[in-house]
Structure 1
Amino acid sequence: MEKILIGKIVNAVGLKGEVKVYCYTDRKERFEELERIWVEEEPREIQNVRYHGNVAILKLRGIEDRNASEAQKNKGVYIEETDLAELPEGTYYIRDLIGMKILDEKGQPLGTLNNVLQNSAQDLYEIRLEEGRKILLPVVREFVLDVDPEQKTIRVRLPEGLLEL
């Protein structure tokens, strides 16, 4: 069973054992759909979910007081692979894209998708070129032509001059 990291416990909340979870997913409301999560290697039933800004506040079975919730600080929050939500056609989980071969618009190999950065106006593909250096490519229709999960390839059109930088 593969577990997927979806967040991190960043603090204790109150006196009754609640924990504050910083979510790595784009839908923090996802916790309402789950019956349990894993805190590192420990399965925990979700008893209650509420939100404060962009974090989820969870009450988990077995964490009953402030001391117990403080002991969870900085631990990863995981779900099982079977709990992943089904995505609409044409969208992919980042974990499934990492490692795909990057091809130019003619089908010639350029490199490998090393990472997807999500801290800007649009996502950026971090591509490790075959020669070893890295480039960043905005994930927009103009540059990303085709994603083929079965062939594990992404066909792209690079902006003019990008390889010369």
Structure 2
Amino acid sequence: MSEQLMVVGEITAPHGVKGWVRVRPETDLDQLAGIKRCRLFWPDNKERLFEVEQVRPHRQIWLLKLKDVSSRDEAEALRGALWMIRRDEAPPLPEGHYYVPDLVGLEVVTVQGESVGEVSEVLFGPANDVFVVRRSGLPDTLIPAVREVVKEIALNQGKIIIDPLPGLLD
């Protein structure tokens, strides 16, 4: 049985001289408070498991400190790696919060039952997140992840139910 992995972020550069790295996030930092381990994957299929010492926000990115990475040169060797965790190692989220991999692939339907499309990506914005919805035969549409629009996220049914504002789906 293969394990389900989820991308947490991509290591983009070293930070300082003590082994910290910069991470472009793929999920919210507050969701990662309990993470103790991470796996790094490189494009050449190399994989390595690390213990997480600390994760903290820094502007629009995160800073990550891994055990046994203590110099800038060691941190530089991690550049380009994808930080992944096993889905079952992800900490539980408060009600109303979701991991991106759980949302991608969900069908988006209106409150009237009309199919809009499928979530292909989640964008993180300064005011709110946005669902990128792939539509059959139409350009992708952006759905703001706000209560006024998103009425229900039903993971068990594989659906996100929306009440689109006028013009949102045009």
Aligned Cα RMSD in Å? 2.5
Number of matched residues? 159
Larger radius of gyration: 1
Could you tell me how far apart the structure 2 residues matched to 1:30 and 1:148 are? Answer: 23
Structure 2 SS opposite 1:67: helix
Could you tell me how far apart the structure 1 residues matched to 2:164 and 2:39 are? Answer: 40
| Structure 2: runs of 5 or more not aligned | 42-46
Q: CA deviation at 1:76?
A: 1.7
Q: Which residue of the partner structure matches residue 115 of structure 1?
A: 121
Q: How does 1:5-154 map to 2 (within 5 A)?
A: 5-12=7-14, 13-14=16-17, 18-22=19-23, 24=25, 25-27=27-29, 30=32, 33-40=34-41, 41-46=47-52, 48-49=53-54, 51=56, 53-54=58-59, 55-61=62-68, 63=69, 65-154=71-160
Could you tell me how far apart the structure 1 residues matched to 2:123 and 2:146 are? Answer: 13
Structure 2 SS opposite 1:106: coil
Could you tell me how far apart the structure 1 residues matched to 2:121 and 2:56 are? Answer: 29
Contact 2:39–2:85, Cα closer than 8 Å, also in 1: yes
- 2:58 maps to a residue whose letter is G
Contact 1:103–1:153, Cα closer than 8 Å, also in 2: yes
TM-score relative to the length of structure 1: 0.80
| Structure 1: runs of 5 or more not aligned | none
TM-score relative to the length of structure 2: 0.78
Could you tell me how far apart the structure 2 residues matched to 1:5 and 1:86 are? Answer: 16
- 1:98 maps to a residue whose letter is V
